[in-house]
Amino acid sequence: MNKHLLTILRCPVSHKGLAVMAKDKLAAVNAAIEAGNITAHDGSKVLEPLHEALVTDDGKRIYPVADGIPVLLEDESIGLEQFD
């Protein structure tokens, strides 16, 4: 992920900054996806593991990165409250 791009990207919902999700946290998210326990904001099950993701500065929302492009759509975001 381009460092300069990260300085200007913002969550479209909260307007918080975004950072690349740490590999250990991404592994935990992917384990939950594999177990069938994760839904996107629109209520659909997340079926594919994330190869890369961005997390909001407040740690409340994840956005997938597909082929190096951040998918900053609210409906495709994943709320981290699912992990509480």
DSSP 3-72: HHHHHH-B-TTT--BEEEPPHHHHHHHHHHHHTT--B-TTSPBP-SPPSSEEEETTS-EEEEEETTEE--
Predicted confidence at residue 64, as pLDDT, reads 97
pLDDT for 15-69, tens place per residue?
999 999 999 999 999 999 999 999 999 999 999 999 999 999 999 999 999 998 9
Q: Tell me which residue range forms the domain holding 36.
A: 3-83
Predicted confidence at residue 20, as pLDDT, reads 95
Cα–Cα distance for residue pair 66/82, rounded to 1 Å: 22
Predicted confidence at residue 13, as pLDDT, reads 94
Q: What average pLDDT does this structure show over 3-21? A: 92
Number of structural domains (the chain) is 1
Confidence band (pLDDT; 50, 70, 90) for 6?
confident
CB atoms within 10 A of CB 11: 20
